[in-house]
Amino acid sequence: MSTRVTQLRILLAAIELFNAEGTAAVSASRIAERCGISKGNLQYHFPNKRDVIFAIFQLAIGEMNAGWYRDHLEPTLEHMAAMFVRQLQLIVSYRFFYRELPDLLRQDPLLRRRYSENRERRLKVIEQFMHALCARGLMRLPQESRRLRSIVEVTWILSENWVNYTALQDREMSAATILEGYAAILEVLRPYLCADPLRITEESSCTIERLVPVPVASAACTIAVPMLQRSAAEPALGHSA
């Protein structure tokens, strides 16, 4: 079996265990056992747990970039709802990461740098998307760029924390909880949207219900399967600056 495939099997096993129990509760031995390799073999690929977490974050970034780099080419309100659904599905797939995010970033300066770079890129893409909505006559943006930045940051913080926010009400992620989160985002954007807010809300509901036919959590770890298929030719995952 190729190095890359072994590494992805390790990461998939780690994602499942971390999502279920949290990173602190899962030892390297448990991860090795779960994917049927020796602890020595695991350590050959990933010397410590921090390396596993870093590589999982790189997987997540790969997924983000695959889906998101062309968003500004489809500047519609329907697509904006679809972007929100996609982000929440990604967060559910890697939910341990978002559950422990500030602590994981505190522990690993390199992970913190990579995460910050990625966030900065994503915030720029969202700004670009809003400018594209504006060019289509769907939004009117505030004049000062500082204010637009602030609005984009608000929607980012909301999106990134919505799964955690609903989880503590013991609610599984579903079309209903996603709709609530999206309603909060629309509430923030409302002063800048040109169409009738009621119509936007109704159309967003249709989009979200079409995209989320079953509870998201049931499909939790399916994400790593496509990664496994498409990534055999990619470079090995390493924790290096």
Chain residues in the site for its own copies (CB under 8 A): 22, 24, 98-103, 105-107, 112, 115-116, 147, 150-151, 153-154, 157-158, 160-162, 164-165, 167-170, 180, 183-184, 187-188, 190-191
Minimum CB–partner distance for residue 192 and its own copies (Å): 10
* Residue-by-residue DSSP string for 56-109: HHHHHHHHHHHHHTTGGGS--HHHHHHHHHHHHHHHHHTHHHHHSHHHHHHH-H
Collect all residues with Cβ–Cβ distance below 8 Å to 211 and sequence separation of at least 6. Answer: 82, 85
At residue 212, the 3 state secondary structure works out as: coil
Q: What is the dihedral of CA 183, 190, 147, 103, to 10 degrees?
A: 0
The Cα 50–Cα 43 span in angstroms is 12
Q: How far is the CB of 107 from its own copies (least distance, A)?
A: 7
Q: Are 133 and 75 in contact (CB under 8 A)?
A: yes
Q: How far is the CB of 18 from its own copies (least distance, A)?
A: 10
Identify the sign of the CA torsion 145, 148, 154, 160: negative
To the nearest 10°, report the CA torsion of 176, 211, 173, 183: -50
**In the block, residue with structure tokens 């747990």:** 49
Question: Locate tokens 């893409």: which residue?
Answer: 125
